[in-house]
Structure 1
Amino acid sequence: MALVTFTGYPASAKSTRAAQLHTYLAAKHNNVQLLSDHSLNISRNVYSDSREEKAARGTLFAAMQRLMSPNTILIVDAPNYIKGFRYQMYCAARELKLRVCTIYVVAKEEQCREWNAARQEGERYPDETLENLIQRYEEPSSMVRWDSPLFTVLWSDDQMPFEAIWEAVSEGKIKPPNSGTVAVSKAPTDALLTLEKTALSIITELMSLQDGYGGTVNLSGNNIQLPPRRLTLSELHRLKRQFVQVHKKAITLGTIEKGSVEWDASSVAHKFAVYLEEHLKH
């Protein structure tokens, strides 16, 4: 029936949200499974060693394949921080003609550190491992098909968008399996250049528009609200690099649904303006 993939920083309350969703969906469907590192007895310490982590992902993926079925809603509660692994999960679900959706649980880095420190011994990530996973985290994007539909849940939200998630797993479009003989819609050959140039022009425009601190500015036709502080060029370049990295794979692999993404300058400018507003709040 469906695969629901949770993703987010370690110790960001993913398991709490996954349990909430499991309770909600179980009241609507008679076969809802919750798969997690905990249910597979995978230790937090495996993320301190690349070989052990790779083996753990293999264990999770194998268990996921066993549990997926046309009558099952499978919730996978794990870090799932690597885009390539989420794509692999997505492809496995498509092979069985299952619906998919991604739940992105968002928490501040400091909040994750506090929650991790409060956990019992054996359930905590080692401090160095926690920091490493946060730095390596690859944010999901609604612009790529393997993360869509994407539901973002903030750490401060009282409720999850339960009804919208239920609609996605019960009525959402079922995409056909991958096929080497089926042509996929690829991004234009100049899409990456457009992404880089447009994001850079937005930064240049924003720096020239800063007058005082905070307020609303118009960036290439897109109004965004700035935080009440002076923005630095290095901060904006860091966000540009993150934005480009998030969307680069969709361009280089050509793994996008036909018509689902527009790579022209105005569309990229809109996406980057929204991205800046969301990531400049603190």
Structure 2
Amino acid sequence: MPLLLICGPPASGKTQRALEIQKLVKEKLNKESIIINEENLHLIKDDAYKDNTSEKMTRGFLKSNVEKYIQAGQLVIFDSINYIKGYRYELYCLARAAKTTNCQLYLNVPLEICQKNNETRENKFNDNLLIDLYKRMEVPKQKDRWECPYFEVRFQEKTPFEEMIEVLFFAEKTAKDPVATKKEQQNEGNFVHEQEKRVQEILDQILNKQVECIQIGNGSIKFQGTKSTLILKRALSIIELKKLRLEFLNMLRITPVKTLEQTNEAFINFIQAQVERLGQ
């Protein structure tokens, strides 16, 4: 069933919004929903986000629960910080693979208000950790097609319930997209071959540029023919890159893209997501 991804800084009011949406979905649509967050999974936030290892385990645990319930017959409301762009891309891929609709709700709330909200909570963040997570928030951008449909609300603004429900329950399901996509691809006899060629070109550029980019300190690789940027903390081996290539091509069979340009963007975003997930 549909996936509503709520993201925003710690203590920005995400759970309050999630509970509000869950109540309205039941009252107005008579549909069931489940909220997946740290509290409902009995995680202590200070422990769950205290270091990189804990964070990775927390994100993996939350994601596995999203994957589990997205197959069931109810709306999944994923209420967490979800501050990493690559992680949100992985969740988008989950929704696509499950052949269901999805959208994002981003809470744009100042740090001062988050700190004030945090003081009154039982399961709260250490203030230094809260500030650190706040600064690391990678704000969703509408130019990234997989971040859309996307709704942004500021502190005390009304939740756009009707608009989100229209997208999640009454819009044409994005999962049916691949059917049309496959038809287009069949009309282009060499589309799959060209996709594999594009993917290999991206790998070649990474191999040629990554060492130099990391040595000069920023680890940022820009690619010809795309606006996407890949940020690496260490060089990836040929074996690692070939494995990523194979995983991505397998993923394309489940969630194909319509154009070769989208292949470039999707592959770079896929690599970034895997690198961030593994803490590399």
Normalised to the residue count of structure 1, the TM-score between the two structures is 0.62
Query: For residue 21 of structure 1, what is the amino acid of its counterpart?
Result: I
Kindly state the Cα deviation for residue 132 of structure 1 after the two structures are TM-superposed.
0.7
Distance 1:55 1:165, change over 3 A: same
Is 1:251 the counterpart of 2:251 in the alignment? no
**What is the identity, as a one-letter code, of the residue corresponding to 1:32?**
S
Give the corresponding residue for 1:224.
Answer: none
Q: Conserved in 2, the CA contact under 8 Å of 1:2 and 1:70? A: no
Q: How much has 1:181 moved relative to structure 2? A: 4.4
Three-state SS of the structure 2 residue aligned to 1:124 is: coil
Show the 5 A alignment for 1:88-107: 88-107=90-109
2:91 is matched by which residue type in structure 1? Answer: M
Report the Cα offset of residue 174 of structure 1.
2.2
Corresponding position of 1:235: none
Q: Say if 1:12 and 1:107, in contact at 8 Å, map to a contact too.
A: yes
Structure 2: segments with no counterpart, 5+ residues: 183-190, 199-225, 231-251, 262-280
Tell me which protein shows more helix as a share of its residues: 2
Q: Shift of the alpha carbon at 1:105? A: 1.1
**Runs of 5+ in structure 1 lacking a partner?**
187-248, 262-282
Aligned residues: 195
Can you list the C-alpha shifts for 1:20-47, whole angstroms capped at 9, x where unaligned? 1111112214221111111111111121
Q: Any conservation in 2 of the 1:70–1:98 contact (CA below 8 Å)?
A: no
> Contact between 1:83 and 1:138, CA under 8 Å: does it hold in 2?
yes
**Do the aligned residues in 2 keep the contact of 1:7 with 1:14 (CA within 8 Å)?**
yes
- Show the counterpart of 2:63: 61
Over the matched positions of the two proteins, sequence identity in percent amounts to: 29
* Partner Cα separation in structure 1 for residue 116 and residue 36 of structure 2: 25
Does 1:142 find its partner at 2:142? yes
The 5 A counterparts of 1:119-134 are 119-120=121-122, 123-134=123-134
Cα deviation for residue 148 of structure 1 reads: 0.6
Distance 1:70 1:117 in 2: 36
Deviation at 1:141, TM superposition (A): 1.2
1:162 counterpart residue number: 161
Could you state the TM-score of these two structures normalised by the residue count of structure 2?
Answer: 0.63
My pick for the range that moved more, 124-133 or 111-120, is 111-120
**Letter of the structure 2 residue corresponding to residue 130 of structure 1:** L
CA distance in 2, matches of 1:6, 1:54: 19
Q: Which residue of 1 aligns with 2:170?
A: 171
Contact 1:97–1:174, Cα closer than 8 Å, also in 2: yes
| Cα offsets for 1:77-120 (capped at 9, x unmatched) | 01100011110011011001110100001211111111112223
